Structure 1
Amino acid sequence: QADLEQIVVQNIPCTVSLTDGVIDTAKACEGTVRLNGELLTCNDGVRGWQAIDGSTIELTGSACQDWRGGDAELQAVFPCDVVVQ
């Protein structure tokens, strides 16, 4: 049972699709991303996030692990000039 749960958790992606528009990846770090209320740092491989493309962000490091752990709330907010579509 525990081995199966570990396999499932490892296969949960740390990429998240943005649902309310497309962002300018050059300005993505002007936005804020919070995991369970904690502000994550843009382009921080230890515990943060990064823009993959205009409609996808990826949680990195321990933020990814927390996301995979389940029961996590993610909030991403971007200023109007970062949202291009």
Structure 2
Amino acid sequence: MSLLQKIKSTTKETASTIGAKSAELVETGKMKINKAQLESEIKAKKREIGDLVYEAHKTDSEVDAEKLTAIFTEIGNLENDIEELA
């Protein structure tokens, strides 16, 4: 194999490796973004729980257990989605 052929072969292999790593990095970046979005949704749901509890305290009423249960379920689903990303 001549020097030129070796260089050409090495260049192709390097380009292929770079392409694969780039695709891997893009996929990793997408997963991190998705995870951050899901975590943000969880924080919003927790804030919603706090709002419900505070409003019940402020109006001296009971917290709506059905609403809380629904929010807890949503948080659980979001946490499962995060686990699936890993």
- TM-score for the superposition, normalised by structure 1: 0.29
Task: Please identify the structure whose Cα radius of gyration is greater.
Answer: 2
Larger strand share, 1 or 2: 1
